[in-house]
Structure 1
């Protein structure tokens, strides 16, 4: 499928991580999402009901980021992808979770996990 909706740089504070201080203090997580779906119906109708409402999707993703903590960003990314696939029009969702404040003892710019999930995957 060649049609995509991209949401980049969605930022929210979560309490994910394996260390107690990560759960207690929290940190920012940044999420990028690419959804593959057929956008022709929306292009023809000019009706938001015929596409993924990216504002509502962002609200749901922030709920997950700020919600129940998990140890790994891999788990967080999987939960976010499942939320994207809750809309049956979405064929695949590629989710990247950035953890720019990860507890690493060296100078770095970012740590990220990217996964792609699709129908039946």
Structure 2
């Protein structure tokens, strides 16, 4: 049995949920002009054992820096589709070399839908080639 008396049996995850950022994404002119709040959830799949073993931040993902980078994408260059935005966010996650798979959800709770609804969410999962 490895040191510590445990056997690692599953992929580790780091999740950042509910990141709220004002963005100007959408196909309608009003969405581009006024913007709206987007909510982002990401889950990163990676091995956190090396970071835990050495109590070493450099061997994991700094979720504070990740949040800032994701916010920069959401608040940055507008795109028509939240599918495109989700892909850009996944690319940011996968730019961290320790991340093997990223699951990204983009919520658009103020989407221009003329009926009552709670949320619009696009979720994608991307991994390394």
TM-score, normalised to structure 2, is 0.92
What runs of 5+ residues in structure 2 fail to find an aligned partner? Answer: 1-9
Alpha-carbon RMSD across the aligned residues, in angstroms, is 0.6
Which residue is equivalent to 1:59? 68
What runs of 5+ residues in structure 1 fail to find an aligned partner? Answer: none
Q: Which has the larger radius of gyration?
A: 2
The reply on whether 1:77 has 2:86 as its aligned counterpart is: yes
Question: What SS is found at the alignment partner of 2:18?
Answer: strand
Question: What SS is found at the alignment partner of 1:34?
Answer: strand
The reply on whether 1:109 has 2:118 as its aligned counterpart is: yes
CA distance in 2, matches of 1:14, 1:45: 38
The reply on whether 1:3 has 2:7 as its aligned counterpart is: no
The reply on whether 1:96 has 2:122 as its aligned counterpart is: no
Query: Following superposition, which runs of at least 4 residues in structure 1 exceed 2 angstroms of deviation?
Result: none
Q: CA deviation at 1:83?
A: 0.3
The reply on whether 1:25 has 2:34 as its aligned counterpart is: yes
Q: CA deviation at 1:71?
A: 0.1
TM-score, normalised to structure 1, is 0.98
Question: What SS is found at the alignment partner of 2:100?
Answer: strand
